[in-house]
Structure 1
Amino acid sequence: MSTRARLLVLVLATAVLAAVAAVATLRAADRATERERARPGDPVAAAGAVTLHRPGRLLFRNLAWGPQRDRVSSVPLAGTAGVRTSAPVDCLRFHAAAGTGICLRAVDGVLPGHEAVLLDARLRPVRTFPVPGTPTRARVSPSGRLVAWTVFVGGDSYAAGAFSTRTALYDTRTRTLHPNLEEFTVLKEGRRQRAADHNFWGVTFATDDNRFYATLATGGRTHLVEGDLSRRTVRTLRENVECPSLSPDGTRVAFKKRLPGTPTAAPWRLHVLYLRTGRETAVAETRSVDDQVLWLNDHTLLYALPGDFGADLWSARADGRGAPRMTVKSATSPALIP
């Protein structure tokens, strides 16, 4: 056999051995992944029909590994650890109420981006809006009429000092889109305020489909603002309030508050503000929560914290008593169908 032939045989043999090794490595990795997924207590998701009219359900973005990851999923409130049903709807942020859903999702293509998709009660797309940044917050009013979403258009973290947001509101009845809350008039103590650095996020709606609350950041400070949709105004109420969530009875706002002396990347503590008296109560959750909480009822808050597969949903009492507890593993962006 010639030297050239020997070299050719050697190269082919090396290539075959490399291919065998690669296949073995991939199979071992797959087996390891399956073992990871098969751990006792890990969530199980199965494809199925999810609607917004089935009462007593909790909906969320599923983060459990597998083919249903990132899909809108549903479990009964009475058994949140059970098998979750997943719809063929992928979202980065999700919320729903009274038969209306909002899904903020990525868009692939030559020019990747993001969009806000209005969903009907069967989670079918009704209308799509392009959004100019990375999704971060989404909310539907209790009646299902009003929808709001927030995206980062510069920076990507509320913990960082330098970021910019864009918050839009949409009226499903009049089909009116307010593409940027920064176009609303800001009132402070009755006087109009103008600033180039106004940023809004974290809208939460009252039951009258006109009033709403949100966060306004300006001058290095955050403010709770109350908005009037018909007048296109917002007025400042209180400093150091972020991501408000109005209670079902309309008397309190749960929010995250920056505490002095805390790490820059984890500065928040959950509080509840009584709107009539101005009294604040710290929630028993002592970990930093970077989320807009959901009220499960008049007494219980639900929120996301980092978990093994991205995030887990935890719950805590709104009155500051008790202790937090894990409610749904591998999940985020919850919505309640009461």
Structure 2
Amino acid sequence: MEKLSVRTRVAVVVCAALLLAATATVYVLRARHGGSAPGGVAPSGSGAPRDGAGAGPGEPYAGGAPAWAGDGRLQVLSNGVLSTVTARDPSGPRTVTTWRCDRAYAARGTVACLRPVDALRRTRLVVLGRDLRERRSVPLTGFPNRLQVSGSGRMVAWTLFVDGHSYAADGFSTGAGILDTRTGAVVTSLERFAITLGGRRYQAPDVNVWGVTFARDDTTFYATMSTGGRRHLVEGDLTARTLRAVREGIECPSLSPDGTRLAFKSAVNGDPARGWRLSVLDLATGRVTASAESRSVDDQAVWLDGRTLAYGLQRPDGVNDVWTVPADGTGHPRVLVPQASSPALDRP
């Protein structure tokens, strides 16, 4: 191979440097003006998801309030900080508080927040009023994972990872409990409830319960139970202290406002390692409707009304966004609140 002369090599280096400088200039100018950076990557700090621009799937809410908005405020976590935004303009300015949470939820003026105390699995459940003043605190052990408040604002349910940190593999252990904010009564472990599986009383040391959702009576609830390598939807009775297995393959249920359907995630082909599909179960007919969200959703979805689900999704760079999708399988996912997680709609 013929060697290049010194003059030729210098010329090549200079040309390469000029090309890199020109590319960098274009990148900076486009980022300053809100355009896409080369390769379709959103400019840093823009808040736009990588696949969230333009019409069609990923299109943010714009041009009017969502049909479900009403007079409520949408509560989210912004980089772990409790924040709210008006439901009529979800992508608009946020009110940021001083409360830091790993998971949060709100309903009827009851705000719940799971806060790690230290790196040794100590966690605190903090219950706030709408004025964000602390009303109650419950010490817990484990890493925050799921949190929900009943529609009345009375009951608060949490799930913590005691061992492990993911539902995608076996070997994890959870701790799920319930607080009655009216009486102060605390159920420290739902795993201790009397279990009926396959029509028979069931006991096993590997029982784990997570992802609680409440019915209107604040006594009936649904959750996920795992045992013997299988995962079941269970119906619970808080007064009777019972759990009854209803159906297999349903995780992190969320009951619709009218109490007739459950949004849930189900493992793809029964294998959690392959991700989860967001779907809806009709409790009366047993019919399952897959949502239009084809990506893996490892979250407990929230009903914004009887037709719309909200949930968190993490981008490849680790940033979370809150998305919505119709519950009936139509439409397509849309970004609701960029750079946020743990959504909840708190109505007056």
Category of TM-score, reference length = shorter chain: 0.7 to 0.9
Q: CA deviation at 1:131?
A: 1.4
Q: Does 1:306 align with 2:306?
A: no
Q: Which residue of 2 aligns with 1:195?
A: 204
Describe the SS at the equivalent of 1:260.
helix
Show structure 2 runs of 5+ residues with no match: 1-30, 33-42, 50-69
Q: CA deviation at 1:230?
A: 0.6
Describe the SS at the equivalent of 2:239.
coil
Give per-residue Cα distances to partners, 1:162-181, cap 9 Å, x unaligned: 10000011111121100000
> Aligned equivalents of 1:254 and 1:58: distance in 2?
19
Q: 1:73 aligns with which of 78, 83, 91?
A: 83
Q: CA deviation at 1:76?
A: 1.2
Corresponding letter in the other structure for 1:289 = V
Q: CA deviation at 1:216?
A: 0.4
Q: Does 1:148 align with 2:157?
A: yes
Corresponding letter in the other structure for 2:325 = A
Q: Which residue of 1 aligns with 2:76?
A: 60
> Aligned equivalents of 1:145 and 1:261: distance in 2?
35
> Aligned equivalents of 2:193 and 2:304: distance in 1?
31
TM-score normalised per structure 1: 0.80
Q: Does 1:92 align with 2:102?
A: yes
Q: Which residue of 2 aligns with 1:212?
A: 221
Describe the SS at the equivalent of 1:238.
strand
> Aligned equivalents of 1:200 and 1:191: distance in 2?
18
Q: Does 1:267 align with 2:283?
A: no
Q: CA deviation at 1:303?
A: 0.6
Q: CA deviation at 1:39?
A: 3.7
Q: CA deviation at 1:266?
A: 3.9
> Aligned equivalents of 2:223 and 2:169: distance in 1?
19
Residue pairs, 1:1-338, within 5 angstroms:
39=46, 55-63=71-79, 70-108=80-118, 113-260=122-269, 265-307=273-315, 308=317, 310-338=319-347
Aligned CA RMSD, in angstroms, stands at 2.2
Q: CA deviation at 1:55?
A: 3.7
TM-score normalised per structure 2: 0.78
> Aligned equivalents of 2:270 and 2:213: distance in 1?
29
> Aligned equivalents of 1:108 and 1:180: distance in 2?
22
Give per-residue Cα distances to partners, 1:15-44, cap 9 Å, x unaligned: xxxxxxxxxxxxxxxxxxx986554869xx
Instruction: Figure out how many residues of one structure are paired with residues of the other and give that number.
Output: 287
Q: CA deviation at 1:183?
A: 1.0
Whether the 8 Å contact between 1:118 and 1:126 is mirrored in structure 2 is: yes
Whether the 8 Å contact between 2:121 and 2:141 is mirrored in structure 1 is: no
Whether the 8 Å contact between 2:47 and 2:338 is mirrored in structure 1 is: no
Whether the 8 Å contact between 1:55 and 1:337 is mirrored in structure 2 is: no
Corresponding letter in the other structure for 1:73 = S
Give per-residue Cα distances to partners, 1:158-211, cap 9 Å, x unaligned: 111110000011111121100000110011244211111100000000011110
Describe the SS at the equivalent of 1:130.
strand
Describe the SS at the equivalent of 1:159.
coil
